[in-house]
Amino acid sequence: MKTRKACKGEKVLKLRATMIEEVQQPSRTFHVLEDSTLDSLAETIVSGFGFDFDHAFGFYDNVDNWLDSGEGYELFADIGEESEFPGVEKAKVNDVFNQPGKQMFFVFDYGDHWPFLVELVGTEDAKEGETYSKLVESVGDAPLQYGDEEFDDEDEFDDEDFDKDEEDFKIDEDDDDEGKW
C-alpha cells in the first residue's frame, strides 16, 4: 500500500468500502490524502480486506449496473488494453469523490468478481506529518480471496502421484468407442 506523510493544509477523504455481495457485508473505512490516485485507493481497499493486489479493476458510477456506467476509470486504460474509460493511475480521488455521499462501484478481479461499494463519507484536515492512506475502521470479517486457507504447498501432489507408465495411458485402437473417454 502506498503511503506518505501529510503536509500542512492538506485534506483527507474518509472513504468507506463495503463488500456488497457478501452476506455479512464487511466494510473498511480509510483516510486517504486528497491527491491520491484511484490506483492507490484500489490498493488501499484491497489490502484492507486482506487481498493480494494482483488483478485488474475499475471504478464505475452506476452502482446498480456497473456495465451501464457513464463515468468510469479502469486499469485497462493504463496498461494499453481496450477501455471506454480513462485510467486509474492519473485520476485523483478528490476529483472523482468530489462531494459527500458520492458512491462508485469498485470491481476488483473481473474473473472472480469482487464487488465493493465505495462512498465518500466526509473530508477533514490531515494531521501534518501523519502517514496516509490508512485504515481507520474495520467492520466484519472479509472472505478469503482464494478459498480454503488450509491448503498450502505441502498439500499439492507429489511427483509419485504422476509416476505412471505409458501403458496406463495407452488408447486401445481396436476399441469401438474410439474418440471417447
Beta strands in the chain, from DSSP E residues, in sequence order: 4-5, 11-19, 27-33, 57-60, 72-74, 103-108, 114-125, 131-132, 134-139
Where b means 16+ CB within 10 Å and e means fewer, 63-100 reads beebeebeebbbbbbbeeeebebebbeebbbbebbeee
Q: How confident is the model at residue 161 (pLDDT cuts 50, 70, 90)?
A: very low
Position 23 scores a pLDDT of 78
Mean pLDDT of the chain: 86
Q: How confident is the model at residue 179 (pLDDT cuts 50, 70, 90)?
A: very low
Identify the sign of the CA torsion 44, 49, 50, 51: negative
Q: What is the mean pLDDT of residues 71-78?
A: 96
Query: What tens digit of pLDDT does each residue of 111-158 get?
Result: 999 999 999 999 999 999 999 999 999 999 999 998 765 544 444 444
The single-letter DSSP state of residue 88 is: S
C-alpha to C-alpha distance for 44 and 133, rounded to whole angstroms: 7
Q: Can you read off the three cell numbers belonging to residue 81?
A: 488494453
Position 181 scores a pLDDT of 36
C-alpha to C-alpha distance for 35 and 29, rounded to whole angstroms: 18
Identify the sign of the CA torsion 59, 62, 67, 68: negative
Query: What tens digit of pLDDT does each residue of 16-43 get?
Result: 999 998 778 999 999 999 999 999 999 9
C-alpha to C-alpha distance for 112 and 108, rounded to whole angstroms: 8
